[in-house]
Amino acid sequence: MTTLATPGPLALVGGAEWRPGCDFDAELLAASGTTEVVVLPTAAAYEHPERAVEFARAWFATLGASVRGLMVLRRSDAEDAEHAAVVRDARFIYLGGGSPLHLRSVLKASAVWDALLAAWRDGAVLAGSSAGAMVLTDPMVDPRGGAFTLGLGVVSQLAIVPHAETWSHDRAHRTISLAPASLPIAAIDERTALVLDHDRGWRASGAGSVAVWLAGAEAGLDALPR
């Protein structure tokens, strides 16, 4: 009898990743069973991506882990077979912050994206922060105006607002009011993760808080899709 694999933990981080307060990273590292984190600074392709990797490296060193920075910065990088092989073999994959639109255009329907999905479905830990978290849902909030656009859909029928504590009331109200009544929106503070453990459901972890909105009203984590 074939045993179906269980997807690994999924962490949607509200931004300001890889710094004190992100205690959930130690939990994710333990769940991964590895001491190497594969970091894709794709979303920061035009913002010194090597600095993002070094920041991640310094942070995970405090947790006893190493970081392998995978410079998937352009579409051609995402179609590279060697890059895809690294991602497929990884047990902890982390998408950093930056531009969600660039990240989506680079990864969508690529060899690296297929490898990422396969690794996660086989039990690898998958984390994304800010832009990296936004693209993992579908729909995703469009950073150009706060409406909605297509995401990559690791989790469907969910949208997130990262850096939630920095959004003005008017900006947040606009996004919430534009959401279909059936679409939950998770507003996630910086240094905070909304984590899906497939045996336990959703939970919030880290320095801040997570607020869920559904049909214009506050709801609990049980309103989120599994």
Residue-level pLDDT at 2: 46
For range 43-47, the mean pLDDT: 96
Residue-level pLDDT at 172: 83
The most confident of 54-68, 136-150, 171-185, by mean pLDDT: 54-68
Q: Does residue 20 have a cis bond before it (omega within 30 degrees)?
A: no
Sorting pLDDT into bands at 50, 70 and 90, what band is 3? Answer: low
Q: Is the pLDDT of residue 152 over 50?
A: yes
- Per mean pLDDT, which range of 112-116, 145-149, 188-192 is the poorest? 145-149
The residue among 36, 40, 136, 50 whose CA lies nearest residue 80 is: 40
Query: How high does pLDDT run on average in the chain?
Result: 95
Q: Is the pLDDT of residue 1 over 50?
A: no
Residue-level pLDDT at 217: 93
Could you tell me if 162 and 127 are in contact, meaning their C-beta atoms sit under 8 angstroms apart?
no
Q: Burial-class residue 53 by CB neighbours within 10 Å (0-12, 13-18, 19+).
A: buried
Sorting pLDDT into bands at 50, 70 and 90, what band is 180? Answer: very high
Residue-level pLDDT at 117: 98
Give this prediction's pTM.
Answer: 0.96
Token couple for 197: 């453990």
Whole-number Cα distances in Å, 49 to 112, 128, 159, 226: 18, 15, 25, 32
Q: Is the pLDDT of residue 167 over 70?
A: yes
Domains, the chain, with CATH or none: 10-135+189-208 (3.40.50.880)
Sorting pLDDT into bands at 50, 70 and 90, what band is 176? Answer: confident
Could you tell me if 207 and 193 are in contact, meaning their C-beta atoms sit under 8 angstroms apart?
no
String of DSSP letters for the chain: -PPPP----EEEE-S--SSTT-THHHHHHHHHT-SEEEEE-GGGTTS-HHHHHHHHHHHHHTTT-EEEE----SHHHHT-HHHHHHHHH-SEEEE--S-HHHHHHHHTT-HHHHHHHHHHHTT-EEEEETHHHHTTEESEE-TTTSSEE----SEESBEEESSGGGS-HHHHHHHHHHS-TT--EEEE-TTEEEEEETTTEEEEEESS-EEEEETTEEE-GGGS--
pLDDT tens-place string over residues 198-209 = 888 999 999 999
